[in-house]
Amino acid sequence: MGQVRKSEFERMIAAEFQRLHGELTRYFGETLDHLIANVIKSMVMTRHWSSVASHVRMRRTHVFRSE
């Protein structure tokens, strides 16, 4: 097995990590949007829209605040 310089290896790992992190962030965002849409649809159908909509918005803001 050949030797790879540490800095080159770290760049490769960092690039792959950033790519995977981006994919996971998009996936979780899309999944969360889908879940929120389902909750909102359900709440509209049961006429509990106003009480849940504010809670859902607060949770979504809290989940993605670290980005």
Domain count, the chain: 1
* pLDDT of res. 29: 94
Query: Do the domain assignments include residue 31?
Result: yes
- Report d(CA 35, CA 29) in Å as an integer: 10
Query: Do the domain assignments include residue 17?
Result: yes
* pLDDT of res. 34: 94
* pLDDT of res. 67: 47
When pLDDT is averaged across residues 7-32 and rounded to a whole number, the result is 93
Show the domain range for 18.
6-63
Structure pTM? 0.54
When pLDDT is averaged across residues 33-44 and rounded to a whole number, the result is 86
Query: Do the domain assignments include residue 26?
Result: yes
- Report d(CA 50, CA 32) in Å as an integer: 19
Query: Do the domain assignments include residue 24?
Result: yes
- Report d(CA 10, CA 39) in Å as an integer: 42
Which stretch of 1-5, 7-11, 12-16, 23-27 has the lowest confidence by average pLDDT?
1-5
Query: Do the domain assignments include residue 1?
Result: no
